Chains A and B, each alone.
Chain A
Amino acid sequence: MGKFEKFLMPMADLLSKNRVLIAIRDGFLITTPLLIVGSIFLLFANFPVPGWEDMMTSAFGPDWSSWFTAVSRATFNCTGLLTALGTGYAMARQLGGDKIQGAAVALVAFFIMMPTRHQATGADGKLVEGFVSGLSFGYIGPDGIFMALLSAILGVSLFVYAYKKGWTIKMPKGVPPAVMDSFAALVPSAIVLSAAFLIRIGFSFTAYETMQGFVVHILQTPLEGLGNTLGANLLYTFMCSFLWFFGINGPAVANSVYFIGNILTAKQQEAFAAGLPLPFIFTNPFSNFFTNYGGGGSTLSLVILMVTTCKSKRIKQLGRLSLVPGIFGINEPIIFGLPIVLNPIIMIPFVCVPMMNLTLSYFATVLEIIPRTTGVSLPWTTPIGFSGWLSTGSFVASLWQFGLLILGMVVYFPFIRTLDKKYLEEEIAANAEVSEEEEIDFDNLDLDNL
Chain B
Amino acid sequence: MVKVMMIFDQTQAGLGGKESPDLPMGGKPMAIGACGMFDRFLDENDGQVVATLYCGDGTYHADTETTTKKFAAMAKKFQPDVVICGPCFNYASYAIMAAHTAKVIKDLTGIPAFAIMAEECTKAIEDYKQQVTILKMPKKGGIGLNEALSAMCVYAKMLYEKQDTKAFEQEYAY
What residues of chain A lie closer than 8 Å to B144, measured between beta carbons?
Answer: 9
Minimum distance in angstroms from A176 CB to a CB of chain B: 33
Assess whether A445 is in contact with B74, with CB atoms less than 8 Å apart: yes
When chains A and B are docked, how far (Å) is the Cα of A171 from the Cα of B68?
Answer: 57
Assess whether B73 is in contact with A445, with CB atoms less than 8 Å apart: yes
Of A252, A330, A333, A439, which is in contact with the most chain B CB atoms at under 10 Å from its CB?
A: A333
When chains A and B are docked, how far (Å) is the Cα of A427 from the Cα of B53?
Answer: 15
**B38 contacts the other chain (Cβ, under 8 Å)?**
yes
Contact (A338, B36) CB under 8 Å given A440-B53, A442-B25, A445-B77: yes
* Residue interface bits B18-60, CB-to-A below 8 A is 1, else 0: 1110001111111111101110000000000001010000000
**B159 contacts the other chain (Cβ, under 8 Å)?**
no
Of A16, A317, A336, A436, which is in contact with the most chain B CB atoms at under 10 Å from its CB?
A: A336
Assess whether A342 is in contact with B37, with CB atoms less than 8 Å apart: yes
What residues of chain B lie closer than 8 Å to A9, measured between beta carbons?
Answer: 143-144
Contact (A249, B14) CB under 8 Å given A426-B30, A430-B29, A440-B26: no
Minimum distance in angstroms from B85 CB to a CB of chain A: 16
Contact (A336, B66) CB under 8 Å given A342-B145, A342-B149: no
Would you list which residues of chain A between 395 and 450 have a CB under 8 Å from chain B?
426-427, 429-430, 433-434, 436, 438-440, 442, 445-447, 450
Assess whether B14 is in contact with A434, with CB atoms less than 8 Å apart: no
When chains A and B are docked, how far (Å) is the Cα of A365 from the Cα of B14?
Answer: 38
What residues of chain B lie closer than 8 Å to A446, measured between beta carbons?
Answer: 73
When chains A and B are docked, how far (Å) is the Cα of A330 from the Cα of B38?
Answer: 23
- CB closest chain-A residue, reference B16: A321
Q: Which of B15, B29, B36, B108 contacts A339 (CB 8 A)?
A: B36
* Residue interface bits A62-78, CB-to-B below 8 A is 1, else 0: 00000000000000000
What residues of chain A lie closer than 8 Å to B146, measured between beta carbons?
Answer: 5, 246-247, 342
Q: Which of A12, A248, A314, A426 contacts B14 (CB 8 A)?
A: A314
What residues of chain A lie closer than 8 Å to B36, measured between beta carbons?
Answer: 338-339, 342-343
Would you list which residues of chain A between 222 and 248 have a CB under 8 Å from chain B?
244, 246-248
**B13 contacts the other chain (Cβ, under 8 Å)?**
yes
Assess whether A247 is in contact with B26, with CB atoms less than 8 Å apart: no
Q: Which of A12, A321, A336 contacts B143 (CB 8 A)?
A: A12
Minimum distance in angstroms from B74 CB to a CB of chain A: 7
- CB closest chain-B residue, reference A315: B14
Assess whether A247 is in contact with B13, with CB atoms less than 8 Å apart: no
- CB closest chain-A residue, reference B78: A440
**B131 contacts the other chain (Cβ, under 8 Å)?**
no
Minimum distance in angstroms from A67 CB to a CB of chain B: 38
Contact (A430, B16) CB under 8 Å given A332-B11, A447-B66: no
What residues of chain B lie closer than 8 Å to A336, measured between beta carbons?
Answer: 11-12, 14, 33-34, 37, 89
- CB closest chain-A residue, reference B23: A321
Assess whether A337 is in contact with B11, with CB atoms less than 8 Å apart: yes
Q: What bracket does the count of chain A residues touching chain B fall in?
A: 35 or more
When chains A and B are docked, how far (Å) is the Cα of A446 from the Cα of B66?
Answer: 11
Would you list which residues of chain A between 314 and 334 have a CB under 8 Å from chain B?
314, 317-318, 321, 325, 330, 332-334
Contact (A248, B73) CB under 8 Å given A336-B12, A337-B11, A342-B146: no
Assess whether B19 is in contact with A325, with CB atoms less than 8 Å apart: yes
Minimum distance in angstroms from B42 CB to a CB of chain A: 12
Assess whether B17 is in contact with A438, with CB atoms less than 8 Å apart: no
What residues of chain A lie closer than 8 Å to B143, measured between beta carbons?
Answer: 9, 12-13, 16, 246, 248
What residues of chain B lie closer than 8 Å to A338, measured between beta carbons?
Answer: 14, 33, 36
Would you list which residues of chain A between 362 and 407 have a CB under 8 Å from chain B?
none
What residues of chain B lie closer than 8 Å to A343, measured between beta carbons?
Answer: 36-37
Q: Which of A248, A332, A339 contacts B142 (CB 8 A)?
A: A248
Contact (A337, B13) CB under 8 Å given A247-B141, A433-B29, A445-B74: yes
When chains A and B are docked, how far (Å) is the Cα of A14 from the Cα of B30?
Answer: 38
Assess whether A450 is in contact with B76, with CB atoms less than 8 Å apart: yes
What residues of chain A lie closer than 8 Å to B11, measured between beta carbons?
Answer: 332-333, 336-337
**A360 contacts the other chain (Cβ, under 8 Å)?**
no
- CB closest chain-B residue, reference A15: B143
Contact (A246, B145) CB under 8 Å given A321-B20, A336-B33, A450-B108: yes
**B112 contacts the other chain (Cβ, under 8 Å)?**
no
What residues of chain A lie closer than 8 Å to B77, measured between beta carbons?
Answer: 445
Of A339, A427, A429, which is in contact with the most chain B CB atoms at under 10 Å from its CB?
A: A339
Chain A positions near chain B (C-beta within 8 angstroms) = 5, 9, 12-13, 16, 244, 246-249, 252, 314, 317-318, 321, 325, 330, 332-334, 336-339, 341-343, 426-427, 429-430, 433-434, 436, 438-440, 442, 445-447, 450
Chain B positions near chain A (C-beta within 8 angstroms) = 11-20, 24-34, 36-38, 51, 53, 66, 69-70, 72-74, 76-77, 89, 108-109, 138, 140-146, 149
- Other A-B contacts than A16-B143, A336-B33, 15 sampled, CB-CB below 8 A, are A12-B143, A246-B143, A247-B142, A249-B141, A317-B14, A321-B15, A321-B17, A333-B11, A336-B11, A338-B36, A341-B145, A342-B37, A439-B27, A442-B26, A442-B70
